[in-house]
């Protein structure tokens, strides 16, 4: 029995050694090229709650109150993420000329919309959050002390590009 276990362990180590990591491809600027991160349907809730938990950790570190997910803000975020894909550009205005305020009002959200962060990227939700935290204007949206609710959604293209939208409201 011991010999069989030793043989299985040795075989496992041998196979593990055969799997070398893929080389990192660099772009003309010397930075690593993006890799495609596919969000499966099984990951939808994980991605959403990872973002919520991470935002709340950042807010706690900054002395701000925690926030909760809000379905109306999330609906407005989802509409805009898909619309940015349709327009093929990351910007705060909808293809119908709507502003973030307009989209939030359409959902019937009773509070005040405080800010919207958007991104067009191949990065994960946490890489996107880290990028937002590096910029003062997008960091200020996340850490706004008046915020009590968050809407968060994305649209992923077949090629892997993700259009992210985060909304904060009071």
Contact between 125 and 47 (Cβ < 8 Å): yes
Tens-of-pLDDT digits for all 170 residues of the chain? 455 444 444 444 444 444 445 566 666 777 665 666 677 677 778 899 999 999 999 999 999 999 999 999 999 999 999 999 998 878 898 889 999 999 999 999 999 999 999 999 888 999 999 999 999 999 999 999 999 999 999 999 998 899 999 999 99
pTM: 0.78
Report the 10 Å Cβ neighbour count for 66: 14
From the list 114, 116, 110, 51, the residue with the least C-alpha distance to 81 is: 116
Report the 10 Å Cβ neighbour count for 146: 13
């Amino acid at each position: 029995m011991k010999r069989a276990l030793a043989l299985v362990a040795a075989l496992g180590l041998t196979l593990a050694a055969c799997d070398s990591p893929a080389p990192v491809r660099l772009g003309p600027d010397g930075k690593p090229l993006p890799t495609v991160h596919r969000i499966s349907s099984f990951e939808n809730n994980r991605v959403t709650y990872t973002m919520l938990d991470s935002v709340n950790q950042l807010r706690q570190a900054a002395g701000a109150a925690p926030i909760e997910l809000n379905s109306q803000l999330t609906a407005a975020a989802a509409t805009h993420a898909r619309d940015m894909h349709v327009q093929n550009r990351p910007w705060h205005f909808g293809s119908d000329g709507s502003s973030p305020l307009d989209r939030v009002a359409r959902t019937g959200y009773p509070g005040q919309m405080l800010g919207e962060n958007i991104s067009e990227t191949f990065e994960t939700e946490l890489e996107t959050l880290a990028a937002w935290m590096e910029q003062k204007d997008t960091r200020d949206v996340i850490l706004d002390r008046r915020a009590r609710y968050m809407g968060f959604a994305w649209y992923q293209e077949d090629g892997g590009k993700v259009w992210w939208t985060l909304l904060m409201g009071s």
